[in-house]
């Protein structure tokens, strides 16, 4: 005859295990225990037992969960990008001190020391970077300047404008003025 506590133990089940058949209460001696006790129990997810839905609803549930997971990943990516953008060091912006309108459309530009050399249609102009004033203008060239190069020579500057015919003219800029030195690649007609 079983005691009331034994029948109560037979009816009790742990939420993590599902029983295949009747629960037997082992006798107090170890030699009487069954060797196949583990075969009667199967490990299952406790959440899955409670949420067993019919097939169409399980599919809908999976789709909704998948959509939610993807949306959450997109939100996390946007947050990471926003944080990275905010953590970047912003460059210092210097507003212009002077405004100078050019009389002609510039083709190209070079900077050397305190001067800006701007190539124009039939020559080039030299501007002071600090005052934004035009210092010299050379309009004696008969063709358009397509490229200009300038380099420092201490307190002087060497300028080499290249025109559309492939001819380079060397100029020398110093405190006294702008001087023409020589022409390179000029075709001598006979």
Given this model, what pLDDT does residue 69 score? 94
User: For the chain, which residues make up each domain, given as ranges?
Assistant: 15-22+32-87, 108-184
Residue 6 contacts residue 25 (beta carbons within 8 Å): yes
Architecture per CATH, domain 108-184, reads as Beta Barrel (2.40)
DSSP 140: -
What's the pLDDT tens digit per position in 1-54? 555 555 555 555 445 455 555 666 655 665 655 555 555 556 666 665 555 667
What's the pLDDT tens digit per position in 25-40? 655 665 655 555 555 5
49 HSE (CA, 13 A, CB side): 10
pLDDT greater at residue 9 or residue 83? 83
pLDDT of 63 over the 70 cut: yes
Residues 177, 182, 186: CA angle, nearest 5 degrees: 140
Length of the chain: 190
Q: What SS3 state is found at 178?
A: strand
* Its pTM surpasses 0.75: no
What is the rounded CA–CA span in Å between residue 163 and residue 145? 4
Instruction: Compute φ and ψ for 117, nearest 5 degrees.
Output: -110, 115
Per the prediction, the chain carries an average pLDDT of: 77
Residue 38 contacts residue 26 (beta carbons within 8 Å): no
What's the pLDDT tens digit per position in 163-172? 888 888 898 8
CB atoms within 10 A of CB 145: 23
Q: What average pLDDT does the segment 183-190 reach?
A: 73
Which of 167, 168, 149 has its CA nearest to residue 159? 149
């Amino acid at each position: 005859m079983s005691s009331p506590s034994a029948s109560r133990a037979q009816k009790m089940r742990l939420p993590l295990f599902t029983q295949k058949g009747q629960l037997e209460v082992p006798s107090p001696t170890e030699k009487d225990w069954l060797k196949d006790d583990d075969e009667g129990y199967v490990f299952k997810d406790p959440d899955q037992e409670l949420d067993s839905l019919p097939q169409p609803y399980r599919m809908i549930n999976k789709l909704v969960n998948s959509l939610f997971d993807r949306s959450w990943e997109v939100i996390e990516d946007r947050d990471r990008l926003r944080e990275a953008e905010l953590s970047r060091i912003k460059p210092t912006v210097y507003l212009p001190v002077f405004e100078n309108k050019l009389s002609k459309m510039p083709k190209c530009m070079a900077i050397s020391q305190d001067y800006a050399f701007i190539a124009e249609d039939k020559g080039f102009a030299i501007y002071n970077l600090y005052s934004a004033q035009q210092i010299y203008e050379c309009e004696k060239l008969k063709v358009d300047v397509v490229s200009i190069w300038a380099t420092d020579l201490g307190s002087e500057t060497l300028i080499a404008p290249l025109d559309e015919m492939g001819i380079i003219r060397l100029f020398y800029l110093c405190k006294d003025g702008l001087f023409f030195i020589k022409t390179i690649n000029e075709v001598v007609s006979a």
